[in-house]
Structure 1
Amino acid sequence: MPFVAGSKMDWVYPRFHKESLAQTLCRSGLFVICVGMVLTMSMFPMLRSLGVQLRSTLTGSYMPGHHSVLLINCPNEQIAKDIGRAIMERRMAASINFLPRTYTMYYWRGEIQESTEILMLVKTRTSKIERLTDYVKSVHPYETPELLTFPVEGGSLPYMKWMDEAVPDD
């Protein structure tokens, strides 16, 4: 029996095949889009770092925010040195400055407190800040350590390149 449009046999012929092909293509397209999004999100830090390096190389300029400074107060010099050395050994910072005996006044549990502390200025890549702050929280003696970060908006390009060499990008 020849195929006639509108006959009872419509459901057996090409329309069924075309619908399944369309469904298969739709599923494949969604799969490719999902895989593409996952790969892009997982590779974003590496792609951003490559973009920053490429931009810096081609234009001879610095991309603001690629580096940060982290402020950490410690109760004494020995604790500051211990935390600083551990940070440096883990290659989470390019350098750390220790400013001795800063005078601090702050509220703690409803009262004004006063003390002397050691202020650490930790220079690093912005991509390391989360890992760095998590580490400092785990070893710092204060219940609530001061951990303040500031993005670097500019500076000496050779110094910034040195920081990139000193602190590997994971």
Structure 2
Amino acid sequence: MHTPSEPRVRLVLSTCPDAQTADALATALVDERLAACVNVLPGVRSTYRWEGAIERGEEVLLLIKTTAARQDALIARLQALHPYELPEALAVEALGGLAAYLAWVDEQTRDDD
């Protein structure tokens, strides 16, 4: 459980069709302070049902670190920038972690406006 002083950190998962798209999305999300960090993991093999057919493909997985406060804005921006008609955007709450890292995520995603 979170202590009152711990920021509520979220890990958002999303897949991309290729490394170029993944890098562009990662850069935009960090540059816009919607994410503190994005890990890009190539070589993901996905199997899913789309429009009634089983599809398989190589994708690139994004592990996006943000806060609960920025999660909705991040997902909206991800959807706006993503080339997929229906991009994956799955948020998982971090139940804990290194306090200094959680604070860093919070600091890096603060909206300075």
Ranges in structure 2 where 5+ consecutive residues have no aligned partner: none
Distance, in Å, in 2 between the alignment partners of 1:165 and 1:112 is: 42
User: What is the CA RMSD across the aligned residues, in angstroms?
Assistant: 1.7
- State which of 9, 15, 23 in structure 2 corresponds to 1:73: 15
Counterpart AA for 1:79? T
Distance, in Å, in 1 between the alignment partners of 2:106 and 2:83 is: 30
Superposition TM-score, scaled by structure 2 size: 0.92
Q: What residue in structure 2 maps to residue 109 of structure 1?
A: 51
Could you say what secondary structure the match of 1:127 adopts?
helix
Report deviation, 1:169.
4.6
Say if 2:72 is the partner of 1:130: yes
Higher strand share: 2
Q: What residue in structure 1 maps to residue 83 of structure 2?
A: 141
Distance, in Å, in 1 between the alignment partners of 2:101 and 2:66 is: 12
Superposition TM-score, scaled by structure 1 size: 0.62
Relative contact order (C-alpha < 8 Å, sep 6+): which is higher? 2
In the TM superposition, 1:1-170 aligns within 5 A as 55-56=4-5, 62=6, 66-169=8-111
Structure 1 segments, 4+ long, off by >3 Å, are none
Q: Which has the larger radius of gyration?
A: 1
**Contact 2:79-2:87 at 8 Å conserved across structures:** yes
